[in-house]
C-alpha cells in the first residue's frame, strides 16, 4: 500500500504501490533488452538542456557502424521524433499525454510493438524535466542526466535525486557559460557534492572534441554490454 501525505495534513492510501508495479515491468523490459541484445540509454533533463541535440550527434556518429533506434518521449507533439527520423534510424514516438515522465509500462508497450532484435543501441529521450523521471525505472542499462549551463548554477543542488541516481552527468552548452554568467566548474563541484562517484562530462555541440568524448562513452558502454 502506498501512502501519500497531503499538504493539508491528511493521509490517503492509493490502493496499490505504483512504483512496485513499475519495477515489475522494468524488469520485464530489462529482460527484453537483454534478449534483443540492445543497449538501452535513458536520457533525462529539462526542456532546452540539449538532450535531443546530443542524441542526434550520437546517432550521426554511430549509425554508420551500428543499428540505432530511438524513443522520443514527450507530453505532446512529435518534433523530437521527426529530428531523429531525419537521420534514417528507427524512431518510436511516445506521447505521455499529461504525464511528466516515461514509465516502464509505456516502454513495455512500445517494445512489444517494435521488434528491437538485432539493434545495438536504443536511445530513450525522457520527458523534459529533472523531477518526475527519477522515480521510474524503465529497465534501461544506463541513466544519463543532461543539464545546461543556461539553467543557472543552482539547478543541480535543487535536484539532488536525479544526480544521485544517474550513471553519467552531462553539463551541456559550455560554450555559452560566460554569456550566462555560470562557471561550469561550480556545476561540476555541485554534482560531486551529491554523488562523488558519478562520471561528469562537459559538452558543447560547438566543441567537436567534447562531442567525440560523448559518443565514445556511449559506444564503450554499449560494447561492454555486448562483451
Ligand atoms: Mg528534446
Crossing angle (nearest 10°) for helices 18-36 and 104-113 = 30
Phi, psi (deg, nearest 5) at residue 3: -110, 135
- Ligand 1 center to 11 CA (angstroms): 36
Centroid of ligand 1 to alpha carbon of 54 (angstroms): 9
What's the gap in Å between 48 CA and the centre of ligand 1? 7
Tell the residue number behind the cell numbers 532546452, with chain if given.
Answer: 48
* Buried b or exposed e, range 180-211, using 16+ CB within 10 angstroms: eebebeebbebbeebbeebebbbbbbeeeebb
How close is the Cα of 95 to the center of ligand 1, in Å?
A: 12
Distance 86 CA to ligand 1 centre (A): 14
In contact, 123 and 55? CB cutoff 8 Å? yes
212 C-alpha to ligand 1 centroid (Å): 20
Angstrom distances, CA of residue 133 to CA of 36, 73, 86, 149, 176: 24, 11, 26, 20, 27
Residue 1: is its pLDDT beyond 50?
no
Residue 103's alpha-carbon distances to 1, 14, 21, 168, in angstroms, are 19, 18, 10, 20
142 C-alpha to center of ligand 1: Å?
18
Ligand 1 centre to CA of 51 (Å) is 5
Average pLDDT over residues 89-102: 93
- State the chain's mean pLDDT as an integer: 93
Q: CA 214 to CA 193: how far, in whole Å?
A: 23
17 band by pLDDT with thresholds 50, 70 and 90 = confident
Q: Is 34's pLDDT higher than 90?
A: yes
Mean pLDDT of 110-116: 96
* Residue that has been written with the C-alpha cell 501525505 in this structure: 5
Q: Which range has the worst mean pLDDT, 14-18, 54-58, 163-167?
A: 14-18
The domains found in the chain, sorted by start residue, are 3-226 (3.40.50.300)
Residue 87, pLDDT above cutoff 60: yes
Q: How far is the CA of 227 from the centre of ligand 1 (A)?
A: 31
How does pLDDT run across 162-176, given as a tens digit for each residue? 999 999 999 999 999
Q: Is the confidence at residue 28, as pLDDT, over 50?
A: yes
pLDDT at 5 over 80: no
Q: What is the pLDDT at residue 77?
A: 77
**Ligand 1 centre from 89 Cα, in Å?**
16
Q: What is the pLDDT of residues 153-205, one digit of tens each?
A: 899 999 999 999 999 999 999 999 999 999 999 999 999 999 999 999 999 99
CA 223 to ligand 1 center in whole angstroms: 26
Measure the CA–CA gap between 225 and 213, rounded to whole angstroms.
Answer: 19
pLDDT of residue 6: 57
Q: To the nearest whole percent, how much of the chain has pLDDT over 70?
A: 93
Structure confidence at residue 139 as a pLDDT band (50, 70, 90): very high
CA of 53 to the centre of ligand 1 (A): 8
Amino acid at each position: 500500500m502506498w501512502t501519500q501525505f497531503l499538504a493539508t495534513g491528511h493521509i490517503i492510501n492509493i490502493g496499490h504501490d505504483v512504483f512496485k508495479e513499475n519495477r515489475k515491468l522494468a524488469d520485464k523490459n530489462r529482460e527484453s533488452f537483454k534478449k534483443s541484445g540492445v543497449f538501452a540509454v535513458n536520457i533525462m533533463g529539462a526542456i532546452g538542456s540539449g538532450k535531443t541535440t546530443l542524441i542526434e550527434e550520437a546517432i550521426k556518429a554511430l549509425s554508420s557502424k551500428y543499428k540505432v533506434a530511438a524513443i522520443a518521449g514527450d507530453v505532446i507533439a512529435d518534433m523530437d521524433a521527426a529530428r531523429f527520423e531525419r537521420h534514417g534510424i528507427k524512431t518510436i514516438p511516445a506521447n505521455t499525454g499529461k504525464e511528466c515522465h516515461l514509465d516502464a509500462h509505456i516502454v513495455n508497450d512500445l517494445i512489444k510493438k517494435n521488434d528491437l532484435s538485432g539493434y545495438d543501441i536504443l536511445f530513450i529521450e525522457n520527458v523534459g524535466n529533472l523531477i518526475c523521471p527519477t522515480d521510474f525505472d524503465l529497465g534501461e542499462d544506463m541513466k544519463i542526466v543532461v543539464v545546461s549551463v543556461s539553467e543557472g548554477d543552482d539547478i543541480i543542488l535543487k535536484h539532488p535525486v536525479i544526480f544521485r541516481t544517474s550513471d553519467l552527468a552531462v553539463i551541456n552548452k559550455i560554450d555559452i557559460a560566460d554569456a550566462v554568467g555560470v562557471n561550469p566548474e561550480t556545476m561540476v563541484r555541485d554534482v560531486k557534492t551529491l554523488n562523488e562517484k558519478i562520471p561528469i562530462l562537459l559538452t558543447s555541440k560547438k566543441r567537436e572534441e567534447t562531442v567525440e568524448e560523448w559518443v565514445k562513452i556511449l559506444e564503450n558502454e554499449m560494447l561492454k554490454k555486448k562483451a
